[in-house]
Structure 1
Amino acid sequence: MERLHARYPFLDASRAAVEAAGIDLATLVSEGGPAVERGHERVRRALLEGTTAAEEPRTWSTRAELLSYPIARVLVSLLDVPGATEKYAAAEAATARERFVDDFEADLELKSAAGGRLTLDRLLADFELAGGVEPTGDGRFDLDVTAYLGLAAELDDERWHLARRPLSGGTVPVRRPELYTLLREAVGRRVREGLPLSVPEAIEAPLSSELASIRRAIADLDPPTSFDTVTPGLFPPCMRALLSQARDGVGLSGLSDNSRFSLVSFLLAAGLDAEGVIDLCDVPEASAETIRAQVERLRDDDGAVAVPPSCTVMDEYGDCVDRDETCETIRHPLSYYEARLQRTPDDRVTDWRRDESGAS
């Protein structure tokens, strides 16, 4: 097991290293120890903070770090919490992006590769993209259009739409940071593959205390998602600020991917449908179809809406603003909204959907 494997456990070589070590997962979890502890931390931080990086990296051995990945996949499979798999995969991908950007930039600066840094060529090869990415100089690349479409499929921002990209000879030009974002998407997709796992009792039972701990930690990540009224004036400060930007500033499409997801998923959970989101956010007709498509992606096969990020994640995004006393007592924007609705007299609660003026 190498440091590179521990830093990037989703690589084919990393999985092969685990297999070559002949580790029996049931035995590993029944014995407990560092790998289980780190797997627990990995999932908890992914769901609460949007990262899988260790709080104190030097405390974990290469072996514990690498083996914590399959254990984390088991734990997130057993949670049975809406959106947990997606949030976990997104956190693994975000952490991987931070790491491989550091490695790639060090390679560009011709720094020593001591410690087993990952190279861009190796990552591209691992995702079978080596023949589809051609450097053109000055930090730019030509990416095979088929690969581009697959990698950009879940990126909502209009700038990723193929219609907005020059296309020549079956390739799409991208800048280095854009390539890194597309590779992050590839990581997230690989992490999601096979999840949730079917976990046998021999593995589930020894992890009961870790599961209980995670469930307690994310209790507010399963917030109320059914409301009878949509009252923007009672939204949490973070959502009021994003809504203000969408209505009076950069527009909904001008928000960052994270901020737009946060706002749209919150509005859906608060009771709006796609057309309500478009109307409340003053989305111009030219961008309306993009929002409708995003709303569709935020629903699962049963029609349930993806849960908005927690307060911790909103803070990580830089969108936790103007905190008030209610913010100090809750851990999720939807819990804030529920608390404000409960504390506000009925005659002061106006449903935006029934207000002809559309005012809050």
Structure 2
Amino acid sequence: MQPIHARYPFRQVSRQAVGEAGVDLAAVVAEEPEVVARGVERVVWALEDGTVGEAHDVDRIELLSYPVARVLVSLVDEHILTRRYAQAEAATAYERFTADFADTSELKYANTDRLTLPDLLAEFDLADAVRAAGGTVGDGSAAVADGQSREFLVGVGTYLDLASDQRGDEWRLVNRALADGEVVVDGEELLVLLRQAVRHRIDDGLPLSVPEAIESEVTEEVEDVRERLSELDLTREIDTVVPELFPPCMKSLLDRVQKGEHLEHHSRFAIASFLTSIGMTTDEIVDIFQVNPGFGEEATRYQVDHIRGATSPTDYSPPSCATMQSYGDCVNKDDICEDVIDESHPLNYYEHRLDQEDEDELTDWRDEQGDDASDEADEADAEEA
């Protein structure tokens, strides 16, 4: 097993090297605790740091820790963990191949194979979809040259696939130079697209079907990862209010509030804590509850401020899916509830829906309210005139 295999374990040649060495993964997890420990480390670092940590000094341990990490992620089988793990492996690979392309010293690669840009393109069957503008692709050094000025041409289908998860107007196709079915990118952008190709490779293969012989050997490690996952606040700082993307339970509660129906205390707490968690202010939430029977502005404002931690030592999070079920507030479950978030948490659902949408096409509910208010003011001004 060569160092390059351990450095880029997602490559087919790395997988072939493991197969040719006759490695039995069941025996590895049972007899090689260092490999298992490094596999756990990859997953934990992915959760907490967004990378897979420092590589182990022993190439065999580093390489075999990759399939062990994938086993752990598969057995935990939580969408957020899978996504973070794939992102972390891709981020680490990006750091490594960017550094490799930038280092042209012969000494570094005297005793090892060197990863080149054509190698990486071939890995993902992109050799025919990417070409250098006005010349050959080269070994990758041009892609990381000062100023990232060299241009590459990427087939539009490939570009759309690999740029779909990138944020920012600069990635939108309408803002790119496009000619003869090819999109112009610079060297830095090409490497970002290749990072996404790595992420797709890792994400598409998960979760794995894990044999019982392997699963039984890593029970404690799986529980450790589950515990760490439960202790982390994995929801990002959400500050976008798009009701049509709410989880079914919260959509139902919001609809009931707006219809003026009476809500039990636990239901009021669930929707209020959800709305505070996605960035709504106390004033905005109070306005929503005005139509509810028995509404009292002072009491409602106090309760919302208490939930958000403004008048209490605790910033309350929305109830988990399990709690919503126990109170009878879990309704209208859809495929995302069943297959994606695995009944974890309403905020996980909402974050997933936001991630699937084009951020530039999302309209915040609060902006719509502001537009409506402006329109009404304009109409009133027109009538007065």
Could you state the TM-score of these two structures normalised by the residue count of structure 1?
0.62
User: CA offset at residue 207 of structure 1?
Assistant: 0.3
User: CA offset at residue 117 of structure 1?
Assistant: 3.4
Q: SS state of the match for residue 131, structure 1?
A: coil
In the alignment, which residue of structure 1 is the partner of 2:16? Answer: 16
User: CA offset at residue 65 of structure 1?
Assistant: 0.4
In the alignment, which residue of structure 1 is the partner of 2:46? Answer: 46
Q: SS state of the match for residue 98, structure 2?
A: helix
Match of 2:199 among 188, 195, 203: 188
Q: 1:189 to 1:357 in 2, by over 3 A?
A: closer
In the alignment, which residue of structure 2 is the partner of 1:229? Answer: 272
In the alignment, which residue of structure 2 is the partner of 1:161? Answer: 172
RMSD of aligned Cα (Å): 3.3
Cα contact 2:79–2:340 (8 A) shared by 1: no
In the alignment, which residue of structure 2 is the partner of 1:27? Answer: 27
In the alignment, which residue of structure 1 is the partner of 2:220? Answer: 209
User: CA offset at residue 15 of structure 1?
Assistant: 0.8
Which residue type is aligned with residue 57 of structure 2?
W
Moved more, 111-120 or 300-309: 300-309
User: CA offset at residue 300 of structure 1?
Assistant: 8.3
Q: d(CA) in 2 for partners of 1:148 and 1:299?
A: 31
Q: SS state of the match for residue 23, structure 2?
A: coil
Q: 1:44 to 1:26 in 2, by over 3 A?
A: same
* Structure 1 residue 140 corresponds to structure 2 residue 136: no
Cα contact 2:337–2:349 (8 A) shared by 1: no
User: CA offset at residue 222 of structure 1?
Assistant: 6.5
User: CA offset at residue 270 of structure 1?
Assistant: 6.7
* Structure 1 residue 74 corresponds to structure 2 residue 71: yes
Cα contact 1:299–1:305 (8 A) shared by 2: no
Give the fraction of aligned pairs with identical amino acids, expressed as a percent. Answer: 43
Q: SS state of the match for residue 185, structure 2?
A: strand
Max radius of gyration: which structure?
A: 2
Q: 1:300 to 1:181 in 2, by over 3 A?
A: farther
User: CA offset at residue 215 of structure 1?
Assistant: 2.1
Moved more, 138-147 or 1-10: 138-147
User: CA offset at residue 98 of structure 1?
Assistant: 0.6
Cα contact 1:142–1:174 (8 A) shared by 2: yes
Q: d(CA) in 1 for partners of 2:370 and 2:192?
A: 41
- Superposed CA offset, 1:286-334 (max 9, x none): xxxxxxxxxxxx988668664799xxxxxxxxxxxxxxxxxxxxxxxxx
Q: d(CA) in 1 for partners of 2:337 and 2:121?
A: 31
Q: SS state of the match for residue 183, structure 2?
A: strand
Residue ranges of structure 2 left out of the alignment (5+ in a row): 135-148, 236-246, 251-269, 281-316, 320-335, 352-364, 372-385
Q: d(CA) in 2 for partners of 1:110 and 1:80?
A: 43
In the alignment, which residue of structure 1 is the partner of 2:95? Answer: 98
Which residue type is aligned with residue 80 of structure 1?
D
Cα contact 1:34–1:60 (8 A) shared by 2: no
Cα contact 1:35–1:67 (8 A) shared by 2: yes
Q: d(CA) in 1 for partners of 2:113 and 2:338?
A: 40
* Structure 1 residue 4 corresponds to structure 2 residue 4: yes
Question: Residues 194-343 of structure 1: matches in 2 within 5 Å?
Answer: 194-221=205-232, 227-229=270-272, 306=348
Matched residues, number? 253
Q: d(CA) in 1 for partners of 2:190 and 2:337?
A: 27
Cα contact 1:300–1:306 (8 A) shared by 2: no
Q: 1:103 to 1:300 in 2, by over 3 A?
A: farther
**Greater RCO (Cα-Cα under 8 Å, separation 6 or more):** 1
Q: d(CA) in 1 for partners of 2:29 and 2:154?
A: 42
Match of 1:174 among 165, 185, 209: 185
Q: 1:223 to 1:97 in 2, by over 3 A?
A: closer
Moved more, 145-154 or 176-185: 145-154
